[in-house]
Structure 1
Amino acid sequence: MAPNFPEVQGGGSLILAWQVRNKRVLVIGGGEVAAGRILNLLNADAKVTVVSPRSGLNDEVAYRIAQNAVIYHDRVFEASDLDDPEITMVMTAVDDPVASSQIWKLCKERRIAANIADVPPECDFYFGSVHRDGPLQIMVSTNGNGPKMANIVRRRIAATLPENIGAAITKVGMLRRKLRVVAPGDEEGPKRMKWMSKVCVQWSLEDLCDMEEQDMEELLRSYAPDQIPSYSQVKLKEEPGVWEFDGSFGWACVV
């Protein structure tokens, strides 16, 4: 009897969230494609260097340069541009296949990860179509087969998401950071993960989005006894599982 394991489907890519915060990335080119690459990098807090003749800059790239958001060299690419030991990634977006392939070869010699626009065989990584809502990022990739299809699929997925999901995730992140203060020890790790998972499952997205800082403090009181009070219990500051009779039925027991 065959084991019930997932079937291997070759031909895919290993989709990762590459942390480039405060890392140097070289972008070669200054047109529309380069503008998109630069925006993605700045959103990820990378340190971006752009090499391109000023005559080849589009308005958006020129704006980033004017705002000092990137380091800019007004010239064509030179092999010495790769000598900077801080460079961890290279992206090319130039209309010169021969020059692009040469840059690719130079990057391989220096073992620098590179993406050569519109040349999938000369790419260590690909860009997908990304939906962004605050801390939430969803990427759809077709492994270079159909960028437009990736965009269509991404839009369809985004249309099914609640409008407030980004805000809910932000609130969950705040709660997690507060929980680490309440229970900082490494030995608390498994309990922290399990407790946070239960909060995310038992509270609705609307509850998480509406959660305020004082609600978080109240909710965290239930961490030690490993309980998950409901949203209304937290708002009313009730003990989980306790119901208080308010006499609304018109009678009461007098002892």
Structure 2
Amino acid sequence: MAEQSPEIKGGGSLILAWQVRNKRILMVGGGEVAAGRIVNLLNADAKVTVVSPREGLNPEVAYRIKHNQVTYIDRKFQPSDLDDPSIVMVLTAVDDPVAGSEIYKLCKEKRIPANIADVPPECDFYFGSVHRDGPLQIMVSTNGKGPKLANIVRRQIAANLPSNIGDAISQVGVLRRKLRKVAPGIEEGPKRMQWYVCAVI
């Protein structure tokens, strides 16, 4: 039995699809890196609060603020920004590494997961390179070691996917919901799976 067990290869990350819909995320910084993070958060339907002086805002971040896509606080970060109990995650993208480290320490004290941009040791989680087509999301992660390389690998994977894969997955989702209505019981799971496989194949 032991011979069939997979070999443990430490040093990886636990890759998850973190559901942040309607959850409050604090973004400290308003530059180019912050702009990319904000897009990811808004695509995940998160409620984003941006803390950054107005003079340092990236044009895209300014656009999000102008159109009320994020909540905006026009100043530098203050420790009291972490007092909101609804905050479930903190991201920083600031040019001051000392300030980033201090924010990370404060987050650890409050047990709030944090990502300090470009400082892998001070990240509870990493952002990968993501390909999205409707409901399909594929992330390539290098655990903070090579973001540019992750982007190259992600593009190669995406180039080999069928052009209509997102629509196909959406239709599969519709089928699954219909089958759950026809055979809703837990004990009917094998029956649903059989119908599902026949329909997809």
Give the alignment's TM-score, normalised by structure 1: 0.76
1:156 aligns to 2:143 (yes or no)? no
CA–CA distance in structure 2, aligned partners of residues 192 and 113 of structure 1: 38
Q: Deviations over 1:229-248 (max 9, x none)?
A: xxxxxxxxxxxxxxxxxxxx
1:199 aligns to 2:199 (yes or no)? yes
CA–CA distance in structure 1, aligned partners of residues 38 and 189 of structure 2: 37
Counterpart residue number, 2:11: 11
Counterpart residue number, 1:132: 132
Q: Any idea what SS the aligned residue of 1:3 has?
A: helix
What code does the residue aligned with 1:171 have?
A: Q
Q: Any idea what SS the aligned residue of 1:109 has?
A: helix
What code does the residue aligned with 1:41 have?
A: L
Q: Any idea what SS the aligned residue of 2:137 has?
A: strand
Number of equivalenced pairs: 201
CA–CA distance in structure 2, aligned partners of residues 70 and 128 of structure 1: 23
After TM superposition, give the deviation of residue 2 of structure 1 in Å: 6.5
Quickly say closer, same or farther: Cα 1:194–1:125, change in 2 above 3 A: farther
What code does the residue aligned with 1:106 have?
A: L
After TM superposition, give the deviation of residue 194 of structure 1 in Å: 3.8
What code does the residue aligned with 1:139 have?
A: M
What code does the residue aligned with 1:34 have?
A: A
Give the alignment's TM-score, normalised by structure 2: 0.96
Q: Deviations over 1:2-22 (max 9, x none)?
A: 713222111110100001011
Q: Any idea what SS the aligned residue of 2:4 has?
A: coil
Residues 216-227 of structure 1 mapped to structure 2, 5 A cutoff: none
Q: Deviations over 1:44-91 (max 9, x none)?
A: 011111100111111110111111111100110010000000000000
Residues 205-216 of structure 1 mapped to structure 2, 5 A cutoff: none
Counterpart residue number, 1:251: none
What code does the residue aligned with 2:141 have?
A: S
CA–CA distance in structure 1, aligned partners of residues 6 and 65 of structure 2: 48
Q: Any idea what SS the aligned residue of 2:88 has?
A: strand
Which structure has the bigger radius of gyration?
1
CA–CA distance in structure 1, aligned partners of residues 137 and 190 of structure 2: 26
Q: Which runs of 5+ in 1 are unaligned?
A: 203-255
Higher relative contact order (CA 8 A, sep 6+): 2
CA–CA distance in structure 2, aligned partners of residues 132 and 193 of structure 1: 26
Counterpart residue number, 2:121: 121
Quickly say closer, same or farther: Cα 1:2–1:188, change in 2 above 3 A: closer
CA–CA distance in structure 1, aligned partners of residues 183 and 2 of structure 2: 44
Q: Which runs of 5+ in 2 are unaligned?
A: none
1:111 aligns to 2:111 (yes or no)? yes
Q: Deviations over 1:20-52 (max 9, x none)?
A: 011100000000100111000010011111100
Counterpart residue number, 1:57: 57
Identity among equivalent pairs (%): 78
Q: Any idea what SS the aligned residue of 2:111 has?
A: coil
